[in-house]
Amino acid sequence: MAPPDMNAIQVAHREKKTWSDVWALSMVSLLRFGMDTATGYSHPTEEAKKMGSWLGLSKVKSWFGPSPMTERKWLIRFLFLESVAGVPGMVAGSVRHLHSLRRLKRDNGWIETLLEEAYNERMHLLTFMKMAEPGRFMKTMIIGAQGVFYNMFFMSYLFFPRACHRFVGYLEEEAVLTYTRAIHDIEAGRLPKWQKLEAPEIAVKYWNMPEGHRTMRDLLLYIRADEAKHREVNHTLGNLEQKNDPNPFVSEYEDPVRPHPSKGIENIKPTGWNREEVI
């Protein structure tokens, strides 16, 4: 993963086109409200206001309050976000695994990508756990949120997998926005404790971070790139025929010149690939 590619990651939003998109975006709005409340998030920026408008939450005053985001508040937000983000890939992968066993058919490469996503999100969480230990209240919030979210996502994925992938795509849009705001805060000098802070050893080994590129800013660039990839993957999977279409991110393409989905971020498409582009 080349640093120029990571620096090129942009905040993006896929406009809702169907009723399932409306449902997915509404659920992300609700989750965002709960997460903002639980983590004390407040970031008065025009970009945050724009995203709030996308999600229908522009009137939520706590988003734009005067209280600045400190290093501790950012870490709490990261921990809460990653404890939730690690659920969908595991749920979807396990449901599709059992579905493949029942049908006695191959899954066309979806399971591996979904489980890789869940593992990647867990590594994000473990990395931040090396930097901050959440308090008892936050641990209780995480347990409660996971218990509710896991079961709701499981039941939803059984009947509406396409909408669930769209939901995750919108959720990852939020993740990219969150890490982009944190990176900008570091660059603006608003988080002095992170200016020279080195990434934990677990992160250095997982991302194979080179010497001289192991700061907190570098770490957030790697994590933001991961979230941007999950955003692309889930928006793309939400565009496909769920039972029969192959996973375009592990497929082989006859035309090597034409851009196509890949496991890297060199051809990343923030709002996802349409079905006619990959099938």
Residue 172 counted as an annotated binding residue: yes
- The answer on whether 121 is annotated among ligand-binding residues is yes
The Cα–Cα gap between 272 and 232 comes to 5
CA gap 115, 121 in Å, rounded:
10
Contact in structure between 56 and 13 (CB atoms under 8 Å): no
227 in a labelled binding site:
yes
The length of the chain is: 279
- Note the helical H segments in 104-135: 110-129
Q: Which residues in 252-276 are b (16+ Cβ under 10 Å) and which e?
A: eeeeeeeebbeeebeebbbbbbeee
Using CA atoms, how far apart are residues 162 and 23, in angstroms rounded to an integer?
A: 11
| DSSP output for 183-236 | HHHHHTTS-GGGSSPBPPHHHHHHHTPPTT--BHHHHHHHHHHHHHHHHHHHHH
Q: Write the burial class of residue 115 (CB in 10 Å: 0-12 exposed, 13-18 middle, 19+ buried).
A: middle
User: Is 266 part of any known ligand binding site?
Assistant: no
Structure tokens at 74: 């950012």
Spell out a b/e string for 160-198, using b for 16 or more CB atoms within 10 Å of the CB, else e.
Answer: bbbbbbbbbbbbbbbbbbbbbbbbebbeeeebeebeebe
Residues marked as binding for Fe cation? 82, 121, 124, 172, 227, 230
User: What are the binding residues?
Assistant: 82, 121, 124, 172, 227, 230
